[in-house]
Amino acid sequence: MTPFRTSYWHIEPVWVFYLLAAVAVVVFLFGLFAHVSVWVRGIRRQTLPFSWRGISNLFLDGFLGRRIFKGDIAAGTMHLLILWGFLGLFVGTVLISVDYWVYHFLKGAFYIWYSAGLEILGLMLTAGLIWSLIRRYLQRVPRLERRFEDLAVVVFLLLVVLSGFAVEGLRLAAQRQEWARWSFVGHWLSLLWVHPQGALAAYPYLWWVHAFLSLGLIAFIPYCKLFHILAAPTSIYLENQPPQAIPVETRSPDDEVFSYRDMIFFDACTRCGRCVEVCPSTGAGEPFSPRDFIVWARENLLRKYHPLNYFTWLTRWANHRHTSEQGFDPQKIWHCTTCRACLDVCPVYVATQDAIRQARSKIIEEGIQVPSLLTQTLKNLYKYDNPWEATKKKRAQWSQDLEIPDFSETEEAEGLCYFVGCTTSMDIRAQKLARSFAWILKHVQIPFGTLGKREPCCGDIARRAGEDGLFEKQMEDCVELFDRYRIREVVTSSPHCFNTLQNEYPAFQALKPPEEQANFQVRHYTQLLRELVKVGSLWFENPLHVTVTYHDPCYLGRYNQVFDAPREVITAIPGVTLVEMAHNRANSLCCGGGGDRVWQENLDADVKMAEIRIREAEATGAEILITACPLCLIMLEDARKTTSLEHTLQVMDLNEFVQMALSLEHIPGEQSVRRR
């Protein structure tokens, strides 16, 4: 007898099953509809171009789980077992229906393979699920939460597979087919039943239990974190779509602040907690965690746009229920330094820092809850084009005695435009880096100039605060100035300016007619220095025997993937030993100065982020901590003082370090930097 698949064996009445299945599908669809009705409320301006990258990411991150493996092989393997087990069984079940309704093909050798395959998939799923329970409840992996949902979902899935195996066992015990041993798990279970009659009697009941559980699972998906089965692939596909530009002018008061992408990202989140593990704010013991924010945003949006809101009493009940719970305090979003570490580790590409910026824009628009120092800063930015002081006059003071051409006083700029930036221009400590950079440029005889006191703020600070109107105004000022003085080549001292000019402007510029678009190139100074080293115009005569470590600024490293340029410059200096901190490159720890935290009060917990960072630097045994960002410089310099490391560790900008190396007198023998 050829092996074949028996369907609905001894199951009566089959129509009840179809009815239940229909109900499950309706419940599922309604849940899906609820999510989609949130997504469509997300703000969207630009169309979505088709993306092959997206498709390939989908395969790599979705099907192969690339990002889940990253940094946690155990989690990756466990998830893969569950994912493939689940998917395989799902496909297997679909095949049964095809076999029953469309074309009978589950027979013969193919059926044998099919049966054995399903057994393996079932075992994989079971193993994965049990492993996940062990990780969460026995190993107690710190980043994992132990909410009811977390247990329920796994147990539910486990019940479905186990009941499946049991049903199979009963069926095989009753049928005693000769090919049964290929369904090895079922076969093994069937051996437990000595009486085929008893098995047959019990079989339908258990079949119904299994059917009920399976259909229940389908219905349950959109209502629990299993919804990531649908949302995660969507979010992975959308990840590399270009950022949207949503000019303030085009916004209406009813527009949601979050984009449709953010909303899908929120839905894709499985609360895995990787972001919590890397978030410097959480790490410093501050009362904020990216995951809490995501969950809060998701729940809020769902409550706000749920289709059942049509029934006002339901809304009222939901709101009432919510107020009695203690939720996430939206004020906490000011803790985020926008360091992007969370995005780098999130398996489903949740861009928390972006969503937070959007959430901030809501607070800014309402105006009531804006931190008071930030209020002052934004007002200064508007009036004086810098966050630090209520004057424009001091902007060029750092260069008073340096005779640097002021492009704003010429007809047409000749050469490189050095965009100094607010902090570098105004902060006494940071000014030194500008002086060093100017010195280096003169040393290598590159013609350059600045915009003097006409230089505006690039808009980064306003952008991070969610004050998009101000950002757009400052962007226009900047672009207009560059255009007026025909500035084509820009180099910045701050990674923040660099990132804003490089990554934030283009989306907005693209909305303008081509002839009005900005037309300039921007580099960070580390890139320029590296180039100078490469072409041989920047070279170091004398060795500098010193051990240094390098702190990757978030906006240079993670945001713009500039990891090697500064390191190449450092190692081009003979004698220098570069050692790495525990967190480096994409994994770097934020100094705590980003995301406008410098201009707010009372965010720090007992230990400041910069102090944590400087301790890491200290641990390397380096004598100098080099960085390439004015904000990092002032934050770390401050931390050096508060941790009493003044005598063991120096903090320097790369420019200062390079200048020091260039101005070394040639003295044979040892050099000590600290004595300089």
Per CB under 6 A, residues contacting ligand SF4 are 269-275, 278-281, 290-291, 294, 336-342, 345-348, 350, 352-353
Q: For residue 422, what are the contacts with CB-CB under 8 A and spacing of at least 6?
A: 385, 386, 387, 388, 457, 461
121 versus 364: smaller Cβ distance to another protein: 364
3-state SS, residue 627: strand
Q: Does 45 bind another protein (CB under 8 A)?
A: no
274 binds, among another protein, ligand SF4, none (CB under 5 to 8 A by kind): ligand SF4
238 touches, from ligand SF4, another protein, none (C-beta below 5 to 8 Å by class):
none
Q: Which stretch binds another protein (CB under 8 A): 158-166, 403-411, 431-439, 595-603?
A: 595-603
281 touches which of ligand SF4, another protein, none (CB within 5 to 8 A by kind)?
ligand SF4
647 binds another protein (CB under 8 A): no
CB of 234 to another protein, least distance (A): 30
Residue with tokens 């350059």: 448
List the one residue from 194, 368, 535, 667 that touches another protein (CB under 8 A).
368
The one of ligand SF4, another protein, none whose footprint includes residue 338, by CB under 5 to 8 A per kind, is ligand SF4
Q: What CA–CA distance (Å, rounded) separates 515 from 166?
A: 71
Cα–Cα dist 374/441, whole Å = 35
Judged by CB, which is closer to ligand SF4: 356, or 533?
A: 356
Which position among 604, 637, 653, 656 is part of the footprint of another protein (CB under 8 A)?
Answer: 604
Question: Facing residues of 11 across strands?
Answer: none
Question: Which neighbouring-strand residues pair with 406?
Answer: 450
Binder of residue 291, out of another protein, ligand SF4, none (CB less than 5 to 8 A by kind)? ligand SF4
User: Which residue, 290 or 456, has its beta carbon nearer to ligand SF4?
Assistant: 290
Site string for another protein, 542-581 (x = CB under 8 A): ----------------------------------------
Q: Of these partners, another protein, ligand SF4, none, which one is at the site of residue 666 (CB under 5 to 8 Å by kind)?
A: none
CA distances from 280 to 297, 550, 608, 611, 612 (A): 20, 18, 10, 11, 9
Element (H, E) at 576: strand 576-579
List 66, 251, 304, 486, residue binding another protein (CB under 8 A)? 251
370 binds another protein (CB under 8 A): yes
Question: Which segment (104-112, 176-184, 346-354, 467-475) binds another protein by CB under 8 A?
Answer: 467-475
Q: How many residues line the site for another protein (CB under 8 A)?
A: 36
Tell me the H-state helices in 59-183.
Answer: 66-69, 73-97, 108-133, 148-175
Rounded to whole angstroms, how far apart are CA atoms 9 and 315?
46
326 binds, among ligand SF4, another protein, none (CB under 5 to 8 A by kind): none
How would you label 632-664 residue by residue, b for 16+ Cβ within 10 Å and e otherwise? bbbbbbbbbeebebeeebbbbbbbbbbbbbbeb
How far is Cα 123 from Cα 162, in angstroms, rounded to an integer? 9
Binders of another protein among residues 399 to 458 (CB under 8 A) are 428
d(CA 34, CA 187): 42
- 384: which residues sit within 8 A by CB, 6+ positions away? 390, 391, 392
Among 99, 344, 468, 637, binds another protein (CB under 8 A): 468
| CB contact set of 404 (below 8 Å; sequence gap of 6+) | 418, 438, 448, 449, 450
Do 388 and 430 touch, CB atoms closer than 8 A? no
For another protein, the closer CB: 378 or 576: 378
Residue closer to ligand SF4 (CB basis): 173 or 359: 359
Partner from another protein, ligand SF4, none contacting 290, C-beta within 5 to 8 A by type: ligand SF4
Q: Which two tokens stand for residue 197?
A: 């009659």
> Counting contacts by CB under 8 A, is residue 253 touching another protein?
yes
